[in-house]
Every structure is written in C-alpha cells, then in structure tokens.
Amino acid sequence: MDFSWMAWTWPTATFFGIIFALLGVMAFWEYRVPGGNPRVGILRFQTTRGDRLFISLLGSGFINLAWLGLVGPQLWWSLALSVVYAVCVFRFV
C-alpha cells in the first residue's frame, strides 16, 4: 500500500498506532474491571479513567499540531512531550 499521498512520517504513524493501542487496552481494562474508579483531581470534577484518556488524547493532539506549526515536522520530541502530558493527566486529573 502506498501512503505517500498522506505525508505520513514514522512519528505520525507511531502516534496514531499508540492511540489505537490505548483504546484497545482501555476497552479490555473496562471489560475486566468495570467502573473506571472515579476520582476528583486538580480540575475539581469527577473523572474516570476513560475521561482521563480522552483529555490526554485531546491534549496530545493539540501538542502535536502546535509542534508542527511552531517547530516543524520532527515529531519525536512532541511525541515524548505527549507521553509526559498523558502521565501527568492520569496522575493528577
């Protein structure tokens, strides 16, 4: 398959691969342990692990888009920054 028309790079493919893997892991986790253990974090409203995943994915998308606009197509550092952001969201939100 030729995906050259999409201008895919390895960091972009890795980013979307991680998203799909995370969705699969979270679906399996929710199947095994329903409920998501709701808690109140720094945002001061109740979130489940699915909410935290959504917040981290949304923020990671914005981080990568901002990186593309401000820095350029070298997305490895923005991918690392997105992982750090997601860990912070799951820890503190």
* Alpha carbon distance 37, 58 (integer Å): 21
Q: Identify the weakest region by mean pLDDT among 9-13, 19-23, 56-60, 62-66.
A: 9-13
Which pLDDT value is given to residue 80? 94
Confidence grade of residue 65 (pLDDT, cut at 50, 70, 90):
very high
Nearest in space to 14 (alpha carbons), one of 72, 90, 83, 66? 83
* Alpha carbon distance 56, 87 (integer Å): 8
Which pLDDT value is given to residue 49? 86
Condensed to tens digits (0 to 9), the pLDDT of residues 32-47 reads 988 777 889 888 889 9
Would the pLDDT of 3 be above 70?
Answer: no
Nearest in space to 51 (alpha carbons), one of 89, 13, 12? 89
Condensed to tens digits (0 to 9), the pLDDT of residues 19-31 reads 899 889 989 988 9
Confidence grade of residue 13 (pLDDT, cut at 50, 70, 90):
confident
